[in-house]
Amino acid sequence: MATVTNWIDHLSAAEVQGAIYPGVGTEGILVIVLVVIWIGWHVMTDASESKELSSLARKRHSANDHKSNITDW
Amino acid sequence: MTDQLGALTTVFTEFYYWITVVLMFLIHVGFCMYEVGASRYKHHQHTLMKNTMLIPLVTVTWFLFGWWIYWAFPTGPGLAPSIMNESAALITDDSLFSAKWYLPNSDLMAVNLGDHISGVFWAAFLLFSWTAASIVSGAVIERITTFAFGICAIAIGSVFWSIDAAWGWHFDGWMLKILGYHDAYASGVIHAVAGGFALGILMVLGPRIGKFSSSGEPRNIGPRNPWLVTIGLFLIYTGFWGFYAACNIPIFDLGPEYGMEGVTYFTATNIYVTPTTLGGITMNFLMSLSGGLLAGYVIAKGDPFWTYSSGLAGIICASAGNDLYHPIQSLIIAMIGVVIAYKLHYWVERKFKIDDAVGAVAVHGYAGVAGLIICGFVLNGYPSSGYSVGSMWVGTDYAPINPLGMFIGAIIMFGVLGLIPGWIIAKVLHGMGKLRIPREVEIAGLDYNLLEAARDDEKAVSSSTR
């Protein structure tokens, strides 16, 4: 994975390679992973939010019921 | 970086933008505090998390496509040719400022010894994106779902503001060339577009339960924690300093840039690469803040919430031309903007039953639009660019700043790229049943389950200490 194993050799090359992160050339795969994480987050949180909202809605609390849950400072 | 002067300039510029990013982070801290302070206790934690989660969502999408849009869209596409490649197509060729280098799989979108600057530019613009999304966040508190807000935040933060920045902020933007658009510190590019987008969502989302009486009279749901609102707005002011600095290029030799043979002229420039001074904009920032506070205190009869918000609205109104205004002009423009924003807020609230919980549409949208229009008159005739100045509508050179162009620019920012997309996206989310939380949850409070769990935890702790 290491793109650079010797800084002296790297910086004294005729043309210094700019990208120095591990796995140069795998950027496309990393982008796909990021897209999956991004979309997956929406899917998961939407499902859990919908579930939470519908269960809370069924309880039909009044506007002031939450006050009985306020904890001490 | 093989010569000392070049290296010093590069590293200084890299560090300069890095500092602006750190300062601008305070804008988001301020928005979070402000929103929580404005919301009711039973919604506090969800309100906070909604605004917080826009940070990763906008960041990820800004990395994936937002930054690319900014560099690809200055020509429209199809509206005015680029000064770099003389094509009106998307800028995706091999030229120096092409969007090609900012695709998410580009090796320049990472640690790269060949490019020290792009990453900090990317971050500075990203912080602008967070601000755009956060402006929307305040308006819709206590009734939008986190899912819907996430989609809206991505749309304004990584798509529509990025397009408007490409059109009206990029040195190659078609709005500069055809309209003579000038918006140095983003009255329109950030604030009007985000205010318009928020209004579009609010039109579909509807008011909070109880905001309007059965006869349609608005009721005040004031900030529940005015001290948090106060600190939040002071932090937004503080972060705004970073924003102003981030909109400048700190050191630039305009002689060779403009093609002036044998001329060397180092200066700070605005984002359009035309000269200004950090000293001048600092004076204007403080004078427009002062103008906003003075006018706000009078018109709101000393109401702290509106007075603080008016300080912000004042800066926003003067921002379009604060690179060139005299400080007293800046103060007067700020005062005018505050009066317009305040009056319009209450008129729209009564007339259209729009519940803008924190006055975001007024402070950012109306003040931003007023600032653009005023700028067109006060800076009428100034070049919108240093590269070449021609006449309006041609599009092959740059139109000078003028009232008509700025008025059209304001409509594009607030309406075309703000209100209309916001309304359409909200309509789609509403059609999917994803936009608004259930009525019963809004009444009970979004945090009901969290509060109940905290009470149970406390009971358990109490029983163990008996």
> Do the interacting molecules here have an ipTM over 0.90?
yes
Query: Å from A51 to nearest chain B CA?
Result: 12
Distance CA A54, CA B434 (A): 12
Residues of B in contact with A38 (CB under 8 A): 57, 60-61, 64
Name the residue facing A71 among B448, B449, B454 (closest C-beta).
B454
Closest of B146, B111, B29, B205 to residue B37, by C-alpha: B29
What are the two backbone dihedrals, phi and then psi, of residue B216, each rounded to the nearest 5 degrees? Answer: 90, 5
pTM tops 0.80: yes
CB B318 within 8 A of CB B330: yes
CB distance B147–A42 less than 8 Å? Answer: yes
CB distance A61–B447 less than 8 Å? Answer: no
CB distance A69–B452 less than 8 Å? Answer: yes
pLDDT (tens, 9 = 90+) of chain B, 466 residues, equals: 668 888 888 899 999 999 999 999 999 999 999 999 999 999 999 999 999 999 999 999 999 999 999 999 999 999 999 999 999 999 999 988 999 999 999 999 999 999 988 999 999 999 999 999 999 999 999 999 999 999 999 999 999 999 999 999 999 999 999 999 999 999 999 999 999 999 999 999 999 999 999 999 999 998 889 999 999 999 999 999 999 999 999 998 999 888 888 999 999 999 999 999 999 999 999 999 999 999 999 999 999 999 999 999 999 999 999 999 999 999 999 999 999 999 999 999 999 999 999 999 999 999 999 999 999 999 999 999 988 888 888 989 999 999 999 999 999 999 999 999 999 999 999 999 999 999 999 999 999 999 999 999 988 888 887 7
Distance CA B367, CA B92 (A): 35
Sequence length of chain A is: 73
CB pairs under 8 A between A and B: 109
Q: What letter represents residue B173's amino acid? A: G
Name the residue facing B60 among A20, A38, A50 (closest C-beta).
A38
Domains in chain B, CATH or no CATH each:
4-435 (1.10.3430.10)
Q: What is the dihedral of CA B172, B174, B179, B184, to 10 degrees?
A: -40
Query: Å from B163 to nearest chain A CA?
Result: 21
CB A20 within 8 A of CB B113: yes
Closest-CA residue of chain B to A54? B438
CB distance A69–B451 less than 8 Å? Answer: yes
Query: Å from B111 to nearest chain A CA?
Result: 6
Q: Which strands, in side-by-side order, build the sheet including B275-276?
A: B249-253, B266-269, B275-276
∠ CA B339-B340-B341, rounded to 5°: 95
